[in-house]
Amino acid sequence: MSDDTTPKADAEPSEHESKSTLEVATEIAKFATNPVEIAGVAKLSAAALLRAVGAIGQGSVDAANDIAKQISSGEGITQIVDERIVQVLSAAMSALGAEETADQRDSDRSSRRSKRPLKERGDALLSRSWNAAAQTGSKHPAFDRILGEITPDEARILRFLAIAGPQPAIDIRTNTPFGIGSQRLAVGISFIPDMAGCAWPARSKNYFGNLHGLGLVSFSTEPVEDFRRYQVTEAHPDAVAASRRAKRTIAVYRSIFLSDFGMQFCRECFTLEGYDAGGWTKYEHHDQYWGKGPRLPKPLD
């Protein structure tokens, strides 16, 4: 006589096992913001609950206290609870090993922005805590969005600068006595897009404008250490064309490099191992000096 109660190896997954991580995190977030309603917790797996509770910690108690204060001040209960759910949802998602997509975040943010004054949004942001233990590495929340706002050529520029370091750039100006009345003819000319392997190097101004606006690239008035590198840059077709627009012109030496934020972005988002930036991993000029004249700085290891 067979035992009908023996579980089958290929049994269908239970309801909580088939839930997506987003659904589990949402239910945990709702419980954390409203501890009175605990019926939904029974639907969650024990492992998922423990992971999320570990990330939320004291958040549910703090959220409940804050909700009580906001209710007493006259704010709408629906808006209060929805905002708390979003805050705790972020912690629960991180604990469960998942993240909201950029579209989900943008949709949630746009819907909330139209409902709350700027000062209230700012104060709410300051009051939110950052659970460092639940975060991995040094990833910034903006990295996901930035990846969707740069082109493949811009990504190549970032990767090149991350390996090759600061690169020479020049401005072409009219040459006047003591610089009085000098006019700028061209700005930010460099071979960076060509050296980075961009498909459309002629669009470099658009590329650098976007990268600078995102805080990834910085422009400096300081030149690179080896001034001889500017001789090649002055032969750039854009520099030659600008020089022909006036009788007397001068090249002003600049440099372009990654900001600290840009370097962090490259380390988190790109595979830099095995890429030598066309041989620019280590710059060596192999100069031989005679006498006691000035020397170029030794390249960094």
Nearest-angstrom CA–CA distance, 270 and 160? 11
Range of the domain at 43: 21-133
pLDDT digits (tens, 9 = 90+) for 129-158: 655 555 555 678 899 999 999 999 999 999
Q: Does residue 117 surpass a pLDDT of 60?
A: yes
3 within domain boundaries? no
**Same domain flag for 104 and 183:** no
198 within domain boundaries? yes
pLDDT reported for residue 195: 94
**Same domain flag for 128 and 38:** yes
181 within domain boundaries? yes
188 within domain boundaries? yes
For every residue of 169-237, DSSP letters joined together read EEEEEE--GGGTT--EEEEEE-SHHHHHT-S-GGGHHHHHHHHHHTTSEEEESSPPS-TTHHHHHTTSH
113 within domain boundaries? yes
Q: Where residue 176 sits, what CATH number does that domain have?
A: 3.30.110.190
Nearest-angstrom CA–CA distance, 175 and 250? 5
pLDDT digits (tens, 9 = 90+) for 163-194: 999 999 999 999 999 889 999 999 999 999 99
**Same domain flag for 272 and 148:** yes
Boundary residue ending a domain (133, 156, 178): 133
Mean pLDDT score of the chain, rounded to an integer?
74
12 within domain boundaries? no
pLDDT reported for residue 192: 96
8 within domain boundaries? no
**Same domain flag for 77 and 159:** no
Provide the Cα torsion 264, 267, 268, 272; round to 10°: 160
pLDDT reported for residue 58: 46
The number of domains in the chain is 2
Q: 66-76 burial by CB neighbour count: b if 16+ within 10 A, else e? A: bbeebeeeeee
Boundary residue ending a domain (98, 133, 168): 133
**Same domain flag for 129 and 207:** no
**Same domain flag for 165 and 113:** no
Give the sheet arrangement for strand 249-258, strand by strand: 184-189, 167-174, 249-258, 217-220
212 within domain boundaries? yes
**Same domain flag for 223 and 121:** no
CB 229 within 8 A of CB 256: no
Nearest-angstrom CA–CA distance, 152 and 158? 10
pLDDT digits (tens, 9 = 90+) for 251-282: 999 999 999 999 999 999 999 998 988 877 76
User: Model's pTM, two decimal places?
Assistant: 0.58
Max mean pLDDT among 53-62, 78-87, 222-231, 236-245 falls in 236-245
**Same domain flag for 98 and 168:** no
Three-class secondary structure assignment of 92-118: HHHHCCCCCCHHHHHHHHHHHHCCCCH
Q: 37-55 burial by CB neighbour count: b if 16+ within 10 A, else e? A: eeeeeeebeeebbebbbeb
**Same domain flag for 109 and 153:** no
**Same domain flag for 154 and 220:** yes
